[in-house]
Amino acid sequence: MNIYVSNLSFAVTDEDLRSYFAEYGEVTSAKVIMDKFTNRSKGFGFVEMSDDAAANKAIDELNGATVDGRAIRVSVAKPREERTTSQRPSRPSYSGNSGGNSGNRW
């Protein structure tokens, strides 16, 4: 089961995240999401656990728990939706001369 964890302290590492869930069962992966430009935590991450019952118990017990002074939110991760170009916000298209001086007046 894939678990979404948010409101993490920016100091939390992958290993910290793994250790929070390890007492509930086998953690197959734990990843804090990092900003690709600043290499700083974005404050959320994902944990995968092999046993659904253990994962559900971890979600129930850790949701709202205080970790590093912050109340974390823990839930089942929703599948990532694939974005296509048609789903991106549209941008206005500009064509021609928008300055009002479209012809040679002199």
Residue 102: per-residue pLDDT: 54
**Three-class secondary structure of residue 56 per DSSP:** helix
Residue 96: per-residue pLDDT: 55
Q: What is the pLDDT of residues 18-31, one digit of tens each?
A: 999 999 999 999 99
> Minimal CA–CA distance to 45: which of 11, 83, 69?
11
Is pLDDT of 103 > 90?
no
The CATH architecture annotation of domain 2-78 reads 2-Layer Sandwich (3.30)
**Residues 32, 45 contacting (CB under 8 angstroms):** yes
Query: Which residue ranges make up each domain of the chain?
Result: 2-78
Phi, psi of 22 (to 5 degrees): -60, -30
Rounded to 10 deg, the angle between the 52-62 and 14-22 helix axes is 100
Distance CA 55, CA 21 (A): 8
Q: What is the pLDDT of residues 33-49, one digit of tens each?
A: 999 999 999 999 999 99
